[in-house]
Amino acid sequence: DSGVTQTPKHLITATGQRVTLRCSPRSGDLSVYWYQQSLDQGLQFLIQYYNGEERAKGNILERFSAQQFPDLHSELNLSSLELGDSALYFCASSVTVRPYEQYFGPGTRLTVT
Amino acid sequence: DAKTTQPPSMDCAEGRAANLPCNHSTISGNEYVYWYRQIHSQGPQYIIHGLKNNETNEMASLIITEDRKSSTLILPHATLRDTAVYYCIVRDPRGSTLGRLYFGRGTQLTVWP
């Protein structure tokens, strides 16, 4: 158990819908990361927050947005969902903004039908 | 971040040492070598990292060649639970990409009884 929690574990929704994925980092970690893992693209970095501020951005679609709240939990919002958004979404956390180690949560499996 | 090359798959008998190679011939002086693994559909797990000296922790050993162009992750006594995809990542923790991790395709290690 990494100490990072993600909810929900599974999510099934229809195309065009909007969903919110939630992540609670390890106690004491200030940085949160979101990654997407699909069969064809592998594990891809989406975005990083540190202490509530966006610090790094990957190939995150405009339909996707994220935020980190004052209590340090983070949410990833996915809207206008398409079939291709079906994937595993992982959250990770670290103490610093430039870590040696990141700790990953168990992931949320999103299925868009 | 420097590009890495790993064999797509390897196998190992239970109880034997698993030696996973990684080539990173374009590594720069500030870049570290990191290893993560992902057991089927679980969140990636940090294993070890190093700059130029060999490193050992409770999970594995990391051997980096003197020219730093390649490295080997060693699991000294592989168990069935070590079956996973192993990712070698090279990055500068003080670089502009902050905490972003680039995952390639990794090596699928299968440990057989």
Residue type, A19: V
pLDDT in tens, A6-48: 999 999 999 999 999 999 999 999 999 999 999 877 899 999 9
pLDDT in tens, B21-48: 999 999 988 899 999 999 998 999 999 9
Taking CB atoms and an 8 Å limit, are A48 and B98 in contact across chains? yes
> Which whole-number Å values give the CA distances from B15 to A24, B21, B55, B75, B76, in the listed order?
37, 19, 21, 10, 8
Residue type, B24: H
Contacts of A47 in chain B (CB under 8 A): none
In this complex, is the C-beta atom of A9 within 8 Å of any C-beta atom belonging to chain B?
Answer: no
Looking at residue B2, its pLDDT comes to: 64
| Facing residue for A55 by CB, picked from B43, B93, B98 | B98
pLDDT in tens, A52-107: 999 999 989 999 999 999 999 999 999 999 999 999 999 999 988 777 889 999 99
Taking CB atoms and an 8 Å limit, are B99 and A56 in contact across chains? yes
Cβ(B73)–Cβ(B20) below 8 Å: yes
In chain A, the residue whose alpha carbon lies closest to the alpha carbon of B38 is A104
